Structure 1
Amino acid sequence: MTSTETISLRLGDRPVAEYAWQPALPESMSPRPFLHPVRTLGGTEVTESMPADHLHHLGVSVAVADVGGANFWGGRTFVPGRGPVHLPNHGTQRHHRWAARDASAVHHELRWIGPAGTDLVRERRRIAALPISDRAWALDFGFELTNVTGEPLAFASPATNGRPGAGYGGFFWRARRGDRRVQVLGPDRTGERRLHGRRTPWLALTGGATEPWTLIFVSTGPAHRADLWFVRSRDYAGVGSSLAWDQPLVVGSGTALRRRIITVVADGRLRSREVADIAGRVATAPPDDEWPL
């Protein structure tokens, strides 16, 4: 790979995340901007990028397995009757221009370019680091995807294409598994099996032994809360908000979809009550119409 252009997001004098806004990646990984490493205020890394089990998992990113037939997730494509296969169908998310950037936030426009070199999607993205407490901060990640083709565009997943339970695609966070099993928490249930494919206002991961951490994922806005969670904690640790779980999400020409996930990054393994209290406070963030993209 050649050099990658990155920006450091900071809260005061503490670097909390590195944003690779113009990465140099192989085509098979569906090149896209991503955040890694993301750190707690105490300096513990809570993301993984390009792990051996899934090289195309890139910290925190927006990734969709099937956008009008183009793979913006990376790796293999699930084909009905054949399973996961390698196809020359990978797309690229390319930085187009900056709208604003400072020490704690970036706001830019991207182009989602299909394998034939044509623009499929225009994205406006804003990422901001927000203070919460002396042991936690929040990553506010919002994006708006506009169909720039002349016809309806389907956002799909391996699940919509016939692979049960594999409804991933959208915001995705590959977490650091570390040296202790990761626990999955929700408002009224716990565990991957009880929260994977569920719709809840928030979902949390806790992990680490020598360097414990907690991640609390909160969807904001009615449309966002309608998405189901994709969660893994056993073979690897990861959380995503699914755009297309049961059926493709079809977006008309010139039409946009908007999503926003606020993730609290905390030192320590927080208990369910602490997590619920924090998630409740985060859920009161200003609505999207007060949050310019």
Structure 2
Amino acid sequence: MTYLYVTEPNLPGHLAPRPYLHPVHTRRGVEVTALRPADHPHHLGAGIAIAHVATPEAKHNFWGGSTYVRGEGPRLLDNHGRQRHLGWTSRDADGFTERLAWTGRDGTDLLHERRTLAVRPAGEDYLIDLSFALTNITGGPVELGSSATNGRPGAGYGGFFWRAPGSRPDVLPVPEERAHGSHAPWVALQTDAWTLAFAGGQGDPWFVRAAEFPGVGSALAWSRPVVLRPGGTLRRTITTLVADGRLSPEAIAAHLTERQ
């Protein structure tokens, strides 16, 4: 598993430069992340991204690609922010704690983030615990939103997001149309080669795609924005099971409820 934490100097601005996990492999070496796929070149492995981060002065896109504008639809705007690595609080073979700044297109720091990743075994497979805390460091409110909160129904993506490779994986424990927007304890994508299962999110709805492209996110602004007051902090934790082959729903649930 590789974590790219220094923003690539040649990364186009419309990709919203940010740290990400890629490649991530199963224990047997199967790759389970996708980087800049042709259908969505702003999808960067697994990480944290938000499409709408707004202050009273400006609106910023930390997701990449187009911005959904209410009443107009998607527009490619010069509003892409950047996540900057500030340093490590801790770092070892099993994980890290990192400090980041979310910097707008105009160079203003809007949010500071504390991101923690820990890897632990799950039988023959493994779990990744990823936590993040976003703190408003401006003197006014910061609004965290999504394409859905800007008027595109069902497009509440934003927060944790994992872009998987390939096409049309199976969705568990229920089909895509029922998993998308649900508050299920966990959701999974599965092929004959791998299983990815996700839990956590502190009650946020799941954003699930399989037919259009394979990806799962925990949507922190599904239908309405989250407003952080000055000094306010939003915290989330997601656990991802990375497994070889197909696992039963019972095995997935058992692994995702394991404690450290």
User: TM exceeds 0.5?
Assistant: yes
Match of 1:271 in 2: 248
Q: 2:14 aligns with which of 21, 28, 41?
A: 28
Residues 111-131 of structure 1 show CA distances to partners (whole Å, capped at 9, x for unaligned) of 000011000000001112111
Q: In structure 1, what is the Cα distance between the partners aligned to 2:202 and 2:112?
A: 23
SS at match of 2:221: coil
Matches within 5 A, 1:253-264: 253-264=230-241
Task: Report if the CA contact (8 A) 1:201-1:225 is conserved.
Answer: no
**Would you say 1:79 and 2:66 are equivalent positions?**
no
Query: So what's the TM-score if we normalise by structure 2?
Result: 0.95
Amino acid at match of 1:248: P
SS at match of 1:37: coil
**Would you say 1:49 and 2:35 are equivalent positions?**
yes
Task: Report if the CA contact (8 A) 1:80-1:161 is conserved.
Answer: yes
Q: In structure 1, what is the Cα distance between the partners aligned to 2:154 and 2:43?
A: 18
Task: Report if the CA contact (8 A) 2:17-2:81 is conserved.
Answer: yes
Q: In structure 2, what is the Cα distance between the partners aligned to 1:242 and 1:252?
A: 20
Give 1:201 shift: 1.3
Matches within 5 A, 1:106-121: 106-121=96-111
CA pair 280-98 structure 1, distance change in 2 beyond 3 A: closer
Matches within 5 A, 1:12-27: 17-24=1-8, 25-27=11-13
Give ranges in structure 2 of 5+ residues lacking alignment: none
Amino acid at match of 2:212: D
SS at match of 1:264: strand
Match of 1:244 in 2: 221
Match of 1:217 in 2: 198
Task: Report if the CA contact (8 A) 1:199-1:225 is conserved.
Answer: no
**Would you say 1:201 and 2:190 are equivalent positions?**
no
Query: So what's the TM-score if we normalise by structure 1?
Result: 0.84
Amino acid at match of 1:202: W
Q: 1:165 aligns with which of 133, 154, 162?
A: 154
Task: Report if the CA contact (8 A) 2:170-2:210 is conserved.
Answer: yes
Give 1:177 shift: 2.1
SS at match of 2:257: helix
Give 1:168 shift: 0.2
**Would you say 1:183 and 2:170 are equivalent positions?**
yes
Q: 1:151 aligns with which of 123, 127, 140?
A: 140
Q: In structure 2, what is the Cα distance between the partners aligned to 1:65 and 1:94?
A: 17
Over the matched positions of the two proteins, sequence identity in percent amounts to 50
Task: Report if the CA contact (8 A) 2:208-2:217 is conserved.
Answer: yes
Q: In structure 1, what is the Cα distance between the partners aligned to 2:227 and 2:40?
A: 28
Give 1:33 shift: 0.1
Give ranges in structure 1 of 5+ residues lacking alignment: 1-16, 286-293
Match of 1:230 in 2: 207
Give 1:204 shift: 1.0
Q: In structure 2, what is the Cα distance between the partners aligned to 1:276 and 1:256?
A: 30
Give 1:229 shift: 0.3
Residues 185-217 of structure 1 show CA distances to partners (whole Å, capped at 9, x for unaligned) of 13xxx111011011111111111x4xx111110
SS at match of 2:166: coil
Q: In structure 2, what is the Cα distance between the partners aligned to 1:274 and 1:97?
A: 37
Task: Report if the CA contact (8 A) 1:200-1:225 is conserved.
Answer: no
**Would you say 1:37 and 2:23 are equivalent positions?**
yes
Residues 26-57 of structure 1 show CA distances to partners (whole Å, capped at 9, x for unaligned) of 11100000000111001000010100000000
Q: In structure 1, what is the Cα distance between the partners aligned to 2:257 and 2:189?
A: 16
Residues 136-188 of structure 1 show CA distances to partners (whole Å, capped at 9, x for unaligned) of 1011111100000111111000001000100000000001125xx311113xx
